[in-house]
Amino acid sequence: MAKINWKPGNMIYPLPAVLVSCGNKEDNYNIITIAWTGTICTNPPMTYVSIRPNRYSYNIIKETKEFVINLTCENLTKAADYCGVKSGRDVNKFEEMNLTVEKATKISAPLISESPVNIECKVKDIVHLGSHDMFIAEVVAINVDDNYLDENNKFHLDKAKPICYSHGNYFSLGENLGHFGFSVAKKKRKNKKKFNKNKK
């Protein structure tokens, strides 16, 4: 098997396909689909979104210094695609995709009610990189749909059927292949008393 050398490019796939909502009043609420996003720090919790300066949401976020990362699931696939190809200059994406505006707890930007997880963010810095500028932000609140909490208040995002983006296509996530640390986890030891009892 031979490797083929390509020119440098972004080949880190799959990626999240999140709906980023922004605006500080009803007449400038907007949604932009973002794949260039991720975690950059645990304490304090920090994240980022990278946006081209010519995008409609760019100046809204630059001026308000706030945005919400709304995670997507299978029933939001069409909205994720639509909000990535249509401009807020021309359409009201909340109305066109029948998405519900929900008030955030710490910021003015709206949540998308249909999303299973809404991550409220405040911009701390803007890094000018080239084709995109990176908005580095602190996570100030998390909102989760209680439909995905079990009796122990453990959150099961997998039950929301999250999606990802890879090479121009949207995919649902597959089966669980293992939990964090499974490769080094020790096998559970058998209960010796139970074992000895079974031997009698």
The pLDDT of residue 174: 85
Cβ(122)–Cβ(44) below 8 Å = no
pTM flag (> 0.75): yes
Helix, strand or coil, per DSSP, at residue 112 = strand
What gap in Å lies between CA 51 and CA 35, rounded to an integer? 10
Sequence spans of domains, the chain: 15-199
Domain 15-199: CATH class, spelled out: mainly beta
pLDDT digits (tens, 9 = 90+) for 103-145: 999 999 999 999 999 999 999 999 999 999 999 999 999 999 9
The pLDDT of residue 77: 97
pLDDT mean over 146-166: 95
The pLDDT of residue 200: 53
